[in-house]
Amino acid sequence: MGRGVIVADRVAAFVVGVGLIAAGAGALAWRYDLIPDAPARLRFSWLPDATQTEWWPWATGAAGVLLVLIGLTWLIRHFRSRGVGRLQLLGSDHTGRLTADANAAATAAGHTLTRTAGVRSSTGRVVADRGQLVAELNLTIEPTADLGTVQAAAEQASHELHRIVGRDDLHHRVQLHVARHEETSARVR
């Protein structure tokens, strides 16, 4: 998700949340007669008249279509994949197009990191993040891992990935997750 979608979500959630809290508090206050001079029943005199007019079906239909479009837009914005499948490589021109499977290259880079002492597991993928192409390597390391060794291996894997893909606009992000417990090998008796 982009920052604009996140901001819009938070603002909408705040407005809807405050509105629901206010409506709920008002309903409870009305139910327990905490509002002075509140009527026993709510009546909207304009509502029966409005439903009998010619424009009412058109207005409710337009409101329904508008809500459906807003809902579909919301779903599309939230379920848009950030993943990058294939990257166009240098050397592509009108005679042909050279492409590479970006995620396979990132996965291979992550796999090479699992050979490093202290790295329990690793995954890799290439995503489009805020308009930039980013190779993400996620490492799970042992609590006793030497961070200098892991850093050197991650830098080497990132450099190799950059060299293999051959794209100058490829950025790298390495995230380290420390395992809660040291991995123990099985005992044989």
pLDDT digits (tens, 9 = 90+) for 23-73: 999 888 888 888 888 888 778 888 888 888 899 889 999 999 999 998 888
> Does pTM surpass 0.75?
no
Contact 136, 157 (CB under 8 A): no
- Confidence class of residue 22 from pLDDT cuts 50, 70 and 90? very high
Please state the domain extents for the chain: 3-78, 86-178
Which CATH code fits 86-178?
A: 3.30.70.1350
Contact 132, 173 (CB under 8 A): no
